Amino acid sequence: MDATNTQAWLALGIVVILVLAALAAYFSYRRRQSRRLADRFGSEYGHAVEELGSRSKAEAELRRREARVEALDLVALAPGEAARFSRDWKRLQAEFVDNPAGVVGQADQPVHGQRGIATDDLQQPAAEKQAPAGSSDESLDPLFSPDVARDFRASWDAVQIGFVDDPQQAVRKADELVRQVLDNLSQTFSKQRGALEGQTDQVERASTEQLRMALRRYRAFLQRLLSL
């Protein structure tokens, strides 16, 4: 191989190395940008990827959002004001389960209004006003069927009546009655929890509204347990 060919191969090798180095730098930059956007936007990053269908489209959209925010004249909140917004935000998150449309309107107005950014008034439809806790979508089966409850009450009346003649036997019967009631309660709660667990099997395919209603039913179940 003569000197000319050697120089040509050497030049080609240098070009290949430079191209590979440029590609490595590019992909390293893309990875850093992806990590930065994921860290900054949190769960919204995943939502954008799912909604737009590709990581590149999602990241382009998130960068556009960054540019819009950077163009705003934002002023740091005073500590007291920041604490108030934090409390309001936690309250809105808790209320979302009952009143999603109203909460979205409330969440939009305080923050944008504080900065003087015009926003459309979001009117809450009458059909979407907050439903009271324990409404039909949260209804659970009674703890006892009417017949079972009537039998338990009759048994308790008999225990009290029998106390005068045989106190020891009355206490033993009272203990047995309580055991029966607890066993019945255990079966009822196991059945209701099983029904709730069946909903979690559909979580991956459920809509946000279906998940919201499922959470309300879990809340009703937990409140019933805590009220015993």
Q: Encode pLDDT of 117-166 as tens digits.
A: 333 433 343 334 444 444 444 555 677 788 888 898 899 888 888 887 88
User: Which one-letter DSSP state was computed for residue 132?
Assistant: P
Q: How far is CA 84 from CA 79, 96, 184, 192, in A?
A: 9, 18, 47, 39
Mean pLDDT, residues 79-98 = 81
User: Which one-letter DSSP state was computed for residue 77?
Assistant: P
The pLDDT of residue 227 is 61
Q: Decide: 217 and 138 in contact? Cβ < 8 Å.
A: yes
10-51 tens-digit pLDDT = 778 888 888 888 888 888 888 888 898 888 888 888 888 888
DSSP 87-115: HHHHHHHHHTTT-HHHHHHHHHHHHHHHT
User: Which one-letter DSSP state was computed for residue 137?
Assistant: G
Q: Decide: 224 and 138 in contact? Cβ < 8 Å.
A: no
At 11, list the tokens.
């030049």
Give residue 207's pLDDT band: very low, low, confident or very high (50, 70, 90): confident
Mean pLDDT, residues 53-82 = 83
Residue showing tokens 């070009």: 15
* Predicted TM-score (pTM) above 0.75: no
Percent of the chain with pLDDT over 90: 0
